[in-house]
Amino acid sequence: MLSRVLLLIVASLFVGSLFFPMWRIELEAPQYPEGLVLQLFANKIGGDVEIINGLNHYIGMATLHTENFFEFTILPYVFGGFALISLVLIFIAKRKAVLAFFTSYIVFVVLAAIDFYRWNYEYGHNLDPNAAIKVPGMAYQPPLIGYKQLLNFGAYSIPDVGGWMLTAAGLFLFFIVFKEYNFLRKNYEKSSD
């Protein structure tokens, strides 16, 4: 029963994550004491996009536009699909199905991290050679997670509300798998005695 309740919560977390930013890159510099924020939702880029695009123009970075990323087209369907699978698993009640779902989710997270790194790398390294500001050998790739100094900007890359919801969904799935398989092992050990 506990696993079914947790699967319902997991489904809610996947759906809820669609309404909040999943990731944020915060930029701090002396000329922007209040900071600038780039927020990545499942279906769009938000935050101070126009200001950041204006600044990026000077150093030769491409401008950021939601329509340039196919990920924003498919992610809402992916998370909707994960929510649907979570609900279906409540009624199927098969341990192996939950394990397969958890494994699939981990694979998705790893692939998403690789894609995000690639996205950051391309934007930080593929600079316009005719840019107004050129610093030889300088790349402007923000960190995948954590902090990095980029000229006079400090860049923080961290999960946002939706990202924490997805993290919680993964932790709940891990707990369900651990609980179900640990319970199975205990029953096997009792029957062996």
The DSSP annotation for 6-19 comes to: HHHHHHHHHHHGGG
- Given a cut of 60, is residue 193 above it in pLDDT? no
Mean pLDDT of 73-83: 96
pLDDT at residue number 139 = 78
Instruction: Provide the angle, in degrees to the nearest 10, between the axes of the packed helices 71-92 and 2-16.
Output: 160
- Given a cut of 50, is residue 171 above it in pLDDT? yes
pLDDT at residue number 128 = 79
Tokens 């999960």: give the residue: 159
68-75: long-range contacts (C-beta < 8 A, 24 or more apart)?
Answer: 69/45, 69/119, 71/115, 72/41, 72/42, 72/43, 72/44, 72/45, 73/43, 75/42, 75/43
Q: Rounded CA gap, 172 and 175, in Å? A: 5
pLDDT at residue number 151 = 79
Q: Which amino acid is at 39?
A: Q
pLDDT at residue number 163 = 96
Mean pLDDT of 116-122: 90
Q: Rounded CA gap, 157 and 145, in Å? A: 5
Pairwise pLDDT comparison (137 vs 119), residue with the higher score: 119
65-69, 125-129, 132-136, 170-174: which has the minimum mean pLDDT? 132-136
Q: Rounded CA gap, 66 and 44, in Å? A: 5
φ, ψ for residue 63, nearest 5 deg = -75, 155
Residue 44 pLDDT level (bands cut at 50, 70, 90): very high
Residue 167 pLDDT level (bands cut at 50, 70, 90): very high
pLDDT at residue number 42 = 95
Residue 184 pLDDT level (bands cut at 50, 70, 90): low
Mean pLDDT of 68-81: 94
pLDDT at residue number 108 = 96
Instruction: Provide the angle, in degrees to the nearest 10, between the axes of the packed helices 95-125 and 71-92.
Output: 170
SS3 assignment, position 157: strand
Read off the pTM: 0.84
Residue 149 burial by Cβ neighbours in a 10 Å radius (0-12, 13-18, 19+): exposed
